[in-house]
Structure 1
Amino acid sequence: MAEYDAIILGAGAAGLFCAGLAGQRGRRVLLVDHADAAGKKILISGGGRCNFTNTGTAPDRFLSASPHFAKSALARYSPADFIALVEAYGIAWHEKTLGQLFCDGSARQIVAMLLDECAKGGVEIALGQPIAAVDHADGRFRVTVGARTVSAPALVIATGGPSIPKLGATGFAYDCARRFGLKVAEPRPALVPLVLTGDDLLFRELAGVAAEVVAHHGKAAFREAALFTHRGLSGPAILQISSYWRPGAEIAIDFLPDAAPGWLKQAKRAQPRATLAKTLALPGRLAEALADRLALPGELANLPDAKLAASEAALSRWRFHPSGSEGFAKAEVTVGGISTADLSSQTMAARRVPGLYAIGECVDVTGWLGGYNFQWAWASAAACAAAL
């Protein structure tokens, strides 16, 4: 039986980074994945250019049952640390918007960098190898990988969540965690388009129309683009709010976030013969749909101020009732996962199972859209690797 210092399950962002760092610390590491290639999710991220971090990273931009859990790892491995690594490899990058950093070239550069880091650490990588069994006895973990069994005193779960199953994503991490007595917070799709039905069906006819809005749900609010699709709502503002939304709840959209109070009555005074649709600073089809739904035809001069005030209020908090989301198939990440209550925030180690660790997306820490989830992958991997 081949023996290692650590076995890492999952060759995604967190697993690759952890393996490379641990290997360079002198640990003998085996990195295993059932996929035939490493970093598949990295390759499709950021439109193929990998939004590898966000300079605005802060703990309050992550969702978790324990809001403070991510603080330690994020503080000890920052965006600047990963940027330094990227630059050491000569990978050119740029800031797109809102602190989001992308490769100038291709996401393949990030995967190649991580594989090179693994090579520097002498990491053994076994791809296309299904994990048939995971056991623990006498202080060692035994993993059946393909046709062989390997063992190590440390096992790292880094197989991610079930989002984007076409890339091979599964709930394996949760099954493995439960096997060792770790709790799992309910996994659900996050950063995912929402589906409209019923009274909101009208808006699906606007497929392809986009506008800058503020999306609200509870205390969460995001100002970015919203996009109408043939199934409902998408775009950055909607993807962001979807992480907070729960089935059965509503979301609210401010279609005119820059409009001052009383703007519609002022428009009536300035352009009495204009219609509501012509007054709205929105794409034409969207403006017409909103005006139709508000049932305010004709010129502004003929509309009572009270109705204009009510329309203003409606446009600033337009309520949608999504019937669901497009599910894990279209979700960029997963909310929920291995409970942070069962892990050390310092090392990512399981509190009651010596030698067991969990990192990356499989943990109940989920970032906003825009590179935050990659930064969590790097930071949690670094915290774990330092403890191996």
Structure 2
Amino acid sequence: MSAAVDALVIGAGAAGLFCAAQAGQRGLKVLLVDHAPKLAEKIRISGGGRCNFTNREAGPANYLSENPHFCRSALARYPASEFIALVQRHGIAFHEKHKGQLFCDHSAQDIIELLLHECAAGGVERWQPCAVHEVQPTEAGWTARTDRGEVLARRVVIATGGLPVPKIGASDWGLRLAERLGHRLVAPREALVPLTFDTAHWAPFVPLAGIARPVAISTAVPGKGKRSNTVSFLEDLLFTHRGLSGPAVLQISSFWRPGQTIEIDLLPGTDLFETLQQLKRQSRRQLGNELAALLTQRLADTWLALQGIAADTPMPQVPDATLRRLADSLQHWTLTPSGTEGWAKAEVMAGGVDTRDLSSQTMESRLHPGLYFIGEVVDVTGWLGGYNFQWAWASAVACAEAMAAAA
């Protein structure tokens, strides 16, 4: 079998499906190919099965990249409000959960069905499962060798995603293709991923697994020259058997680098030393009981033991110096992760195809006309909370518009 198309889109995830649909609806003959046996599994499992499909507040400040301005054009031309309007046209019920994060009321399958309907409206042909073995430029465009035969395409779109969750088919295929064709890569790394600690260091905290609480979390990020900046988030933290997770940790993990420290305030918005001094004046209860009211009993007991402070000391008898030390330890908890839970638990990939080799207006390669990279395979990574889906939609539209304009 062989096929000749205007656009071959490789990868049927969020970016690939939406780009294929948008290109097809603009009059292009589109073939969408994916090697995975199941369609859009990453969409299906996202947001706890309800798909956090965008964020109302999505903007350039919510993305990481070696070139932080690269995402600006696509996001401005296809903002979150556009995709929200599409969701509403399809009659999908949704709700805002937290800080602009929008989730389906029913299921992530609603978003998959939306994308399939949009592809059908564009007359998109889909081969799946179907592996692509080779992609080569030709005088007339591109040729691709697949499980179902050769494809001749005027343009090729790489929407193969990143490395997270390999059990559902994630691979480095798109990165290897980009590199083989001369594109620079920003080293891929896990992002939005739980952080781990060496066993000996973490042993005292293992009994805290399952405890969640709001925290302020921060780490240093490289600035220009020798300067560094601090990035901070106010979110929930979750203790695990191997380390820390929860939204706060997932957010900071995208910025953290091996060997760096993170700092956590377990009682954000509180002057803990002042609070403890007030309790010292007003309460005759034991320190452990008063701290448990602020932290939970398990966390308070563990913390006091680690600090070598007797939990049964009546509040009036606790020296101010001890209260100061306790407050500082809880509000400036500094620790160095040993690593992350890896690609199996990462939600997205940071790094990818270097944006210096791509047009921010069109997503087209500067090295090979007619070749485009969109979505997660590009060095643009969003925060937790629907931002990565919005980049998928926006980069897909930028690419589809450019291909249609060039047809």
User: TM-score band, normalised by the shorter chain?
Assistant: over 0.9
Amino acid at match of 1:289: T
- Equivalents in 2 of 1:204, 1:130: separation in Å? 43
How far has the Cα of 1:279 moved from its partner?
Answer: 2.5
Q: 2:384 pairs with 363, 369, 372, which one?
A: 369
Q: Which residue of 2 aligns with 1:267?
A: 279
Q: Which residue of 1 aligns with 2:218?
A: 216
Corresponding residue SS for 1:256: coil
Q: Which residue of 1 aligns with 2:307?
A: 294
- Equivalents in 2 of 1:204, 1:180: separation in Å? 47
Q: Which residue of 1 aligns with 2:207?
A: 205
Q: Which residue of 2 aligns with 1:49?
A: 50
- Equivalents in 1 of 2:372, 2:280: separation in Å? 63
**In 2 relative to 1, CA 178–251 (structure 1 residues): closer, same or farther, beyond 3 Å?**
same
TM-score, structure 1 normalization: 0.97
- Equivalents in 1 of 2:315, 2:66: separation in Å? 49
Q: Which residue of 2 aligns with 1:279?
A: 291
Corresponding residue SS for 2:376: helix
How far has the Cα of 1:132 moved from its partner?
Answer: 1.3
- C-alpha distance after superposition, 1:26-78 (max 9, x if no partner): 00111000012221110001111110000111111111000111111001101
How far has the Cα of 1:307 moved from its partner?
Answer: 2.3
Q: Which residue of 2 aligns with 1:239?
A: 250
Q: Which residue of 2 aligns with 1:254?
A: 265
- Equivalents in 2 of 1:300, 1:324: separation in Å? 39
Q: Does 1:336 align with 2:338?
A: no
Q: Does 1:92 align with 2:93?
A: yes
How far has the Cα of 1:204 moved from its partner?
Answer: 2.0
Corresponding residue SS for 1:289: helix
Q: Which residue of 2 aligns with 1:32?
A: 33
Q: Does 1:355 align with 2:357?
A: no
* Alignment map for 1:317-328 (pairs within 5 Å): 317-328=332-343
How far has the Cα of 1:135 moved from its partner?
Answer: 1.1
- Equivalents in 1 of 2:60, 2:191: separation in Å? 18
Q: Is the 8 A contact 1:349 1:357 kept in 2?
A: yes
- Equivalents in 1 of 2:38, 2:5: separation in Å? 22
Amino acid at match of 1:354: P
Q: Does 1:20 align with 2:21?
A: yes
- Equivalents in 2 of 1:233, 1:90: separation in Å? 38
Query: How many residues are aligned here?
Result: 388
Q: Is the 8 A contact 1:200 1:321 kept in 2?
A: no
Corresponding residue SS for 1:293: helix
- Equivalents in 2 of 1:308, 1:61: separation in Å? 38
- Equivalents in 2 of 1:77, 1:147: separation in Å? 34
Q: Which residue of 2 aligns with 1:73?
A: 74
Amino acid at match of 2:291: T
CA RMSD of aligned residues (A): 1.2
- Equivalents in 1 of 2:304, 2:20: separation in Å? 56
Corresponding residue SS for 1:327: coil
Amino acid at match of 2:388: N
Q: Is the 8 A contact 2:26 2:122 kept in 1?
A: yes
Amino acid at match of 2:128: L
- Equivalents in 2 of 1:287, 1:211: separation in Å? 13
Corresponding residue SS for 1:4: strand
How far has the Cα of 1:272 moved from its partner?
Answer: 4.4
- Equivalents in 1 of 2:251, 2:154: separation in Å? 39
**Which piece of structure 1 moves more, 194-203 or 316-325?**
194-203
How far has the Cα of 1:363 moved from its partner?
Answer: 0.5
- Equivalents in 2 of 1:210, 1:228: separation in Å? 6
Q: Which residue of 1 aligns with 2:227?
A: none
- Equivalents in 1 of 2:73, 2:333: separation in Å? 39
Corresponding residue SS for 2:81: helix
- C-alpha distance after superposition, 1:311-341 (max 9, x if no partner): 2122111012211100000000001011111
TM-score, structure 2 normalization: 0.93
Q: Which residue of 2 aligns with 1:62?
A: 63
Report sequence identity in percent.
52
Corresponding residue SS for 1:96: strand
**Which piece of structure 1 moves more, 151-160 or 261-270?**
261-270
Q: Is the 8 A contact 2:6 2:29 kept in 1?
A: yes
Q: Is the 8 A contact 2:202 2:242 kept in 1?
A: no
- Equivalents in 2 of 1:232, 1:146: separation in Å? 43
**Which 4+ residue blocks in structure 1 deviate beyond 6 angstroms?**
none
- Equivalents in 2 of 1:57, 1:270: separation in Å? 46
Q: Is the 8 A contact 1:51 1:103 kept in 2?
A: yes
Q: Is the 8 A contact 1:130 1:146 kept in 2?
A: yes
- Equivalents in 2 of 1:212, 1:29: separation in Å? 47
Corresponding residue SS for 2:106: coil
Q: 2:330 pairs with 295, 315, 322, which one?
A: 315
Q: Is the 8 A contact 2:215 2:267 kept in 1?
A: yes
